[in-house]
Amino acid sequence: MPLPRFDRLPAERQELILAVARSHFAEQGTEAASYNKIIEAAGFSKTAAYHYFDGREDLLSAVLDGVLGRLLGALGPWAAARDEADFWSRLDAGASALAAHLQAHPDDLALADAAIGHTRGEVGPWLTWFDDLVSDGQRLGVIRTDVDRELLVTVTAAVVRTADSWAVARMKAAPVPTASHETDGAQLWRLLRGLWTETGPHPDDGNADAH
């Protein structure tokens, strides 16, 4: 997290510094981006930089926290659905809003995976959102209950994130909407329905007793 002196800067100055850093990390990568070039582009010396951040990783952490906050802001909090139709409508609205945000903010798109993984193994707010989603879906009978809950939440989050990146890439390749773009959401819902629907026992399920 930034040092207290950073929080005392005017909000506009804070955002400028983070925006410059975000642009560099997005363009060069979180590992390759130069800390010296970032602080030079932000308009302060290396000595001054250490008044605001402990170092490069501290600055990167602040940038990724901001990216994750905007992704969650685009999704909005998950609210309990009234019924199955309302559940799918809410999920559709959240996924569409996230895809629109990623399309409009390419730096956030480039850093989304790093931001989502930034919790370093902790549950974190990203998976908490999908945990709320899965809980609600299971309450309504939309989502299976025969699979480990943590695994189901993690895979669901990965599917939605990957589908949004795929959809954004398609939109960038063909900015004018086409008939195929209109089916992108339907394909995501088919994937999720397949993931969330209980199936019969796998042929290998009973093999343990046979050995």
pLDDT per residue over 41-52, tens digit each? 998 888 888 889
Alpha carbon distance 80, 193 (integer Å): 19
| Bigger pLDDT: 159 vs 83 | 83
Instruction: Tell me how far CA of residue 141 lies from CA of 56, 85, 91, 186, in angstroms.
Output: 46, 12, 15, 20
User: Which of 70, 125, 135 lies closest to 98, judged by CA?
Assistant: 70
Q: What is the pLDDT of residue 71?
A: 93
Do residues 18 and 39 touch, judged by C-beta distance below 8 A? no
Q: Is it true that domain 4-62 has CATH number 1.10.10.60?
A: yes
Q: Supply 33's token pair.
A: 């981006």
Mean pLDDT of 2-30: 93
**SS3 sequence, 23-38?**
HHHHHHCCCCCCHHHH
Rounded to two decimals, the pTM is 0.81
Tens digits of residue pLDDT in 135-185? 999 999 999 999 999 999 999 988 888 887 787 777 667 655 555 544 666
Lookup: tokens for 17: 């510094």
pLDDT at 210 over 50: no
Q: Do the Cβ atoms of 78 and 132 come closer than 8 Å?
A: yes
Averaged over 22-26, what is the pLDDT? 97
Report how far residue 198's alpha carbon sits from residue 201's, in angstroms, rounded to the nearest whole number: 9
**pLDDT tens-digit map of 98-149:** 888 988 999 998 998 889 887 655 568 889 999 999 999 999 999 999 999 9
